[in-house]
């Protein structure tokens, strides 16, 4: 099993600050536990985390031992990909200079504190997306370590990722054979556009329903319409945690519009859904509950490219995580090998030296 | 056997860019390109049933991402949903499973003729 989404927490601020350049360390220290990252205007009413793994004021999943004990060992996770949690919000800090430094420090912290300690772990490269040239430089620097298996972008953004300003990020990723993951979070925070598309929402339940799904749709449609995959034919994108049930709907809608409005995006010389099938993967968590209509859900997803485009993700240790054992049972039997392992193994093939299967 | 049918006057074709008539229970039309080339085509879009011959004859646009170029071919764009069709073959360029019927067309003695 490959778990594409594990969120390591920063248990000790000084441990991370030690990786920050001394000339900037005092600034980050002065920001308190947020490190200057934008706070959530819509917070979970009780806890961001699974209640059973919270540990006396210290965040869960704050060290390798805990992740090993609570996730890797019991679930038989062969490879687990660490995605910066709040740290992914570096791209929403007003100062691109602070963002670049915190991203670099976080990447180094992951490397030494996590990757060096556990061979099953891999990590995503954080980068300051608000400054695409600096982001590309950080991607190229961190990519030298093959345990970084993808680039991580934040779902919250001031502009959707298909826009030409972001091309240096995709160029650097492709240069190093790295997929680009866009993980929801930060919608409406800091520099990011409001969640949902109709002005700010009121409740966390609205934010969690709309913010993540809408930003994921927006980035997907933007990447396809701007022809990013035509520019970079080897680029692979992994969209994370934005939900799945809407996928066939948005692709059908985009295909329909493309037939009528193709002259606006004439570089799209085939249906956008076909491009999506070849270039875009989706993480499974949080797979919508269907009130007994799982067969319908899986039939819809099959119409949008599943199971070839789905990669298992637990989202441990968050409150809405998908338990690996539960997911194994829920997935159609014929999908399991691909979704739980093979698709992610293909996605990260250039960087994973996996033992031969079978 | 296909026969030539009178589907309108050359004056109307020159004025409107197309003529439309009913032939053998079907509505057909003749569409003129700016250079005068004629195309007989069924006046029913295979997508949604719209009056295809009332659409616009346009230069198709192509290009690499971020670049707009003329593709060097004219197309007939359906007036309803804007799907584009090849004037010679009737093939929908954006949905290969769809094709509008096409017919030979010519002008003779000020009349537009279509063979169907």
Which two tokens mark A124? 């995503």
Of A259, A263, A266, the CB nearest to B95: A259
pLDDT at res. B38: 97
Contact B60 A231 (CB under 8 A): no
**Where residue A358 falls among pLDDT bands split at 50, 70, 90?**
very low
Q: Find the residue in B nearest to A268 (Cα).
A: B65
Q: Which residues of B touch A258 (CB under 8 A)?
A: 94
- Give the residue on B whose Cα is nearest the Cα of A232: B65
> Is pLDDT above 80 for B37?
yes
Q: What is the sign, positive or negative, of the torsion defined by CA atoms of B66, B67, B70, B72? A: negative
Quick check: A128 and A91 in contact, CB under 8 A? yes
- Name the residue among A231, A261, A269 with its Cβ closest to that of B82: A261
Tell if the CB–CB gap between A260 and B62 is shorter than 8 Å.
Answer: no
- Computed over every residue of chain A, the mean pLDDT equals 94
- How is residue A72 written in tokens? 């890797």
Q: What residues of B are in contact with residue A224 (Cβ under 8 Å)?
A: none
Read off the pLDDT of residues B7-19 as tens digits, 9 standing for 90 and up. 999 999 999 999 9
- What is the Cα–Cα distance from B108 to B9, expressed in whole angstroms? 10
Question: Which of A164, A259, A263 lies at the smallest CB-CB distance from B66?
Answer: A164
Instruction: Look up tokens 């009130």; give the residue.
Output: A291
pLDDT in tens, A275-305: 999 999 999 999 999 999 999 999 999 999 9
CA A16 to chain centre: 21
Burial class (CB in 10 A: 0-12, 13-18, 19+), B52: buried
How far is the alpha carbon of B94 from chain A, nearest alpha carbon, in Å? 5
Percent of chain A with pLDDT over 90: 85
The pLDDT tens digits of the residues spanning A159-181 come to 999 999 999 999 999 999 999 99
Does the beta-carbon distance from B62 to A259 stay under 8 Å?
no
Distance CA A183, CA A241 (A): 6
Element (H, E) at A300: helix A294-303
CB contact under 8 A, B65 and A269: no
Does position A54 have pLDDT exceeding 70, yes or no? no
Q: How many CB pairs under 8 A join A and B?
A: 40
Give residue for tokens 């210290």.
A58
> Which residues in chain A are closer than 8 Å to B69, comparing Cβ atoms?
266
Q: Tell me what pLDDT residue A57 has.
A: 72
Which residue in B has a C-alpha nearest to residue A223's C-alpha? B65
Phi, then psi, of A197 in degrees rounded to 5: 90, 0
């Amino acid at each position: 099993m490959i778990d594409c989404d594990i969120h390591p927490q920063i248990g000790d601020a000084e441990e991370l600050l030690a990786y920050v350049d001394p000339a900037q360390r005092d600034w980050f220290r002065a920001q308190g536990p947020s490190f200057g990252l934008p706070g959530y205007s819509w917070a979970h009413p009780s806890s961001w985390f699974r209640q059973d793994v919270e540990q006396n004021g210290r965040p869960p999943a704050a060290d390798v031992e805990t992740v090993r004990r609570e996730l890797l060992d019991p679930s038989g996770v062969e490879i687990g990909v660490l995605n910066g949690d709040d740290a992914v919000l570096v791209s929403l800090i007003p100062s691109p200079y602070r963002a670049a430094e915190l991203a670099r420090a976080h990447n180094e912290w992951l490397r030494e504190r996590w990757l060096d300690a556990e061979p099953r772990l891999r990590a995503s490269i954080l980068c300051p997306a608000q400054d695409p040239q600096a982001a590309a430089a950080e991607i190229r620097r961190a990519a030298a370590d093959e345990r970084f298996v993808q680039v991580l972008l934040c779902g919250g953004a001031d502009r959707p990722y298909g826009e030409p300003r972001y091309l240096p990020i995709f160029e650097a990723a492709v240069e190093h054979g790295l997929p680009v993951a866009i993980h929801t979070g930060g919608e409406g925070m800091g520099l990011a556009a409001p969640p949902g598309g109709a002005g700010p929402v009121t409740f966390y339940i609205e934010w969690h329903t709309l913010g993540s799904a809408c930003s994921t749709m927006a980035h997907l449609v933007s990447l396809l319409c701007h022809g990013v995959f035509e520019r970079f034919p080897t680029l692979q994108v992994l969209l994370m945690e934005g939900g799945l049930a809407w996928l066939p709907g948005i692709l059908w809608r985009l295909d329909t519009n493309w037939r009528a409005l193709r002259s606006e995006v004439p570089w799209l010389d085939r249906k956008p859904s076909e491009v999506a099938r070849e270039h875009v993967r989706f993480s499974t968590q949080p797979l919508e509950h269907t009130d007994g209509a799982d067969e319908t859900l899986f039939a819809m997803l099959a119409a949008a490219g599943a199971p070839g485009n789905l990669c298992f993700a637990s989202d441990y240790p968050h409150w809405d995580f998908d338990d690996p054992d539960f997911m194994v049972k829920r997935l159609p039997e014929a999908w399991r090998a691909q979704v739980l392992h093979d698709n992610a193994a293909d996605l990260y093939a250039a960087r994973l030296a996996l033992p031969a299967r079978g | 056997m296909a026969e030539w049918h009178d589907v309108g006057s050359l004056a109307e074709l020159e004025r409107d860019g197309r003529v439309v008539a009913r032939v053998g229970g079907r509505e057909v039309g003749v569409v003129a390109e700016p250079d005068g080339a004629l195309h007989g085509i069924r006046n029913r879009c295979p997508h949604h049933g719209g009056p295809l011959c009332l659409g616009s004859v346009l230069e198709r646009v192509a290009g690499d991402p971020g670049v707009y170029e003329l593709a060097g071919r004219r197309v007939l764009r359906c007036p309803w949903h804007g799907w584009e069709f090849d004037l010679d073959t009737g093939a929908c360029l954006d949905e290969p499973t769809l094709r509008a019927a096409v017919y030979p067309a010519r002008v003779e003695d000020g009349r537009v003729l279509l063979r169907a």
